[in-house]
Structure 1
Amino acid sequence: MKLGVITDGISRDLEHALTVMDEFGLEYAELQFVWDKEVGDHSKEEIARIKALLDAHDKPVSCLSRHIFAGMTTANRPGDELHSKHMDALKRVIDMAHAVGSPLVRIMTSKKEQILWGHNGAEVWNVAKGAWESLPPQIAPAVELARAEGVTLVVETGNGTMVNSNYTARKLIDDLDAKDALKVLWDPANNCWCHETAYPDGYRELRGGYLGHIHIKDVKVDTPRATLEVRPMGEGQLGDQFTPIAEALKADGYYGAISYESVYHPGNGDFEAGFRQNTGRFKDIFGG
């Protein structure tokens, strides 16, 4: 399968990150932070330099991943100051996607309200009324922009965001009738926080053309203690699920890229060391 890495998980020095990718035989570069800037904030000259480095290392871009719409709340509406700021950033990222040949642009969703639907009394006493209904209108202008620009958006299943499971990601796409322009960026480790079992439950939600991109890392969540620990590949709560996920992706003919998300360090803050420790296992499972 198409394996890659989010490059700033190795280093924000793009040339160094690409050199390390060469060392480990990873092909697809996902760009998030390059040098001192997030994608969408680079000048034309800097984008040209980024493209030259990618070409020199023969690395296609899998996705441009800015935190579009992250930090918004249910109170935000299209046209307000914060939503407009995110839409302006999205336009810049899409321009960069055209320049570097990225087929995908990541978006996020607004801050999470915990209980969105309920029954037998919960709909009266516990549901955050109107919370979910506020989300499709926030995302709809981004979908229309993507259609006009000929790119595909991927909405990440994120920690602390309204879309934090494959179920909610699929529902958003269906509510917008946007499967042509919006796919799921599945991060099964993020979904652990809401206790969605990655396989088979979460994976089942993505069948039928909803899956667009994947992030892989391993974690241990302790929701009651509000604590998250990133662990080496295979040593977290996804350890027994990675192989069946990989097998299902192959059996179903998944053609997108899979990025290792190098957010683990071995206790010393050295994320490149964490990458070097884990990427072999990542390749064995998903590239075998």
Structure 2
Amino acid sequence: MNLGIISDQIDLDLSKALSIIKEQGYDTVELHSVFDKPVETLTKEEAVQAKEILDSYGMKVSNLATTIFFLCPLYENDEVTLFNDAFHCIKGNVQDHLNQIENACQVAKILGCYKLRMFPFRFPENRMAPFGTQKDMETICSYFKQAADIAQQFDCELVIENCPYSHCPKGEMTLKLFKMCNHPNLKLLWDPANSYRAIQKQVEDQYLHKTLREELELIYPYIGHIHIKDYHYDASLDKPFDHKPIYSGDIDFDILFDYLKEKNYPYTISLEPEVSFEDSILCLQRLKQKF
């Protein structure tokens, strides 16, 4: 398996980030924000420039962490807003996001990558939970099939991330969506911390009973990429799920990593620490010690 990190978790400047990542003994990165814009919006010239920088540091790209279908209303009257103004992402309606996929695939090809993240749509502020209902799943699936058809034209693969801000925060929910879509160019991007952090009152009861290890065992055959971050739950905080460096929070990564080692997981485990740049370096060091 490969170990990596999303580059802008180390520094917003691509060259500076790659220099530090290489110093820590890594040769694989994932790209989200490049040149202060979402990676899926790079021009051909910008993608070539990014590739030259990557090559100068001997870096491979495991996945494009695009924001396709993140800040996108699932239904016409849904209202969605950005939780963090510093998070670079595209906006618009479903067709706008579908239109962006072709460029994203072209960027991926230039960067020597074939995987692209997409989201199960941001949950709306003006509609009552639960989200990820059967109707939601069917609607999302209809759009994901269109997206996957576009990716197929470029021999690219779309990996569906379970995201706590989306209609499918649990890995078990993205698995159901994946099976409904039944498309060869779809796989899952599993983020165990996102499953842990899911807002339970927004999720139907049937998805609330598996441990992270049980969820991993269930969805493992369909995983194409993994994100790693950590949280500590503190009920006294306004936002009780507090980001921590890995192995400083609540998640037992060893039990998950042991399973991945047993299975000879063939893809990339990619850090998405969402902590300070300094603590992200600590995460690189701690992850390296485990493999």
TM-score, normalization: structure 2?
0.84
Q: 1:138 to 1:226 in 2, by over 3 A?
A: farther
CA contact (8 A) 2:233 2:242 kept: yes
- Where in structure 2 are there 5+ consecutive unaligned residues? 78-91, 201-207
Equivalent in 106, 127, 130 of residue 115 of structure 1: 130
CA contact (8 A) 1:63 1:102 kept: yes
**Correspondence for 2:241:** 228
Does 2:163 match 1:148? Answer: no
Distance 2:134 2:267 in 1: 36
Distance 1:28 1:198 in 2: 29
Code of the residue aligned with 1:217 in structure 2: it is K
Distance 2:108 2:145 in 1: 20
**Correspondence for 1:185:** 189
CA contact (8 A) 1:10 1:262 kept: no
Q: 1:221 to 1:94 in 2, by over 3 A?
A: farther
CA contact (8 A) 1:76 1:138 kept: no
Q: 1:72 to 1:247 in 2, by over 3 A?
A: same
Does 2:94 match 1:83? Answer: yes
Q: Deviations over 1:246-265 (max 9, x none)?
A: 11111112100111113112
**Correspondence for 2:214:** 201
Greater Cα shift, 256-265 or 210-219:
256-265
SS at match of 2:72: coil
Code of the residue aligned with 1:22 in structure 2: it is K
**Correspondence for 1:130:** 135
**Correspondence for 2:34:** 34
Does 2:105 match 1:94? Answer: yes
- Where in structure 1 are there 5+ consecutive unaligned residues? 118-127, 266-271
**Correspondence for 1:121:** none
Does 2:225 match 1:213? Answer: yes
CA contact (8 A) 1:155 1:182 kept: yes
Percent identity, aligned pairs only?
Answer: 26
Code of the residue aligned with 1:202 in structure 2: it is E
How far has the Cα of 1:222 moved from its partner? 5.6
SS at match of 2:135: coil
RMSD of equivalent CA atoms = 2.2
SS at match of 1:65: strand
Distance 2:76 2:149 in 1: 18
Q: 1:105 to 1:223 in 2, by over 3 A?
A: farther
CA contact (8 A) 2:30 2:65 kept: yes
Code of the residue aligned with 2:228 in structure 1: it is I
How far has the Cα of 1:199 moved from its partner? 3.2
**Correspondence for 1:274:** 279
SS at match of 2:68: coil
Distance 1:273 1:217 in 2: 15
**Correspondence for 1:124:** none
Q: 1:172 to 1:50 in 2, by over 3 A?
A: same
Distance 1:114 1:23 in 2: 45
Distance 2:211 2:275 in 1: 20
Distance 1:70 1:137 in 2: 16
Equivalent in 150, 171, 174 of residue 176 of structure 2: 171
How far has the Cα of 1:116 moved from its partner? 5.3
Does 2:253 match 1:253? Answer: no
Equivalent in 245, 260, 273 of residue 262 of structure 1: 273
Distance 2:102 2:168 in 1: 22
Distance 1:90 1:137 in 2: 15
How far has the Cα of 1:44 moved from its partner? 2.0
**Correspondence for 1:283:** 288
Code of the residue aligned with 2:286 in structure 1: it is R
How far has the Cα of 1:193 moved from its partner? 2.1
Q: Deviations over 1:40-78 (max 9, x none)?
A: 22222211111111111111100011110012233159x
CA contact (8 A) 2:159 2:189 kept: yes
Distance 2:134 2:218 in 1: 25
Code of the residue aligned with 2:14 in structure 1: it is L
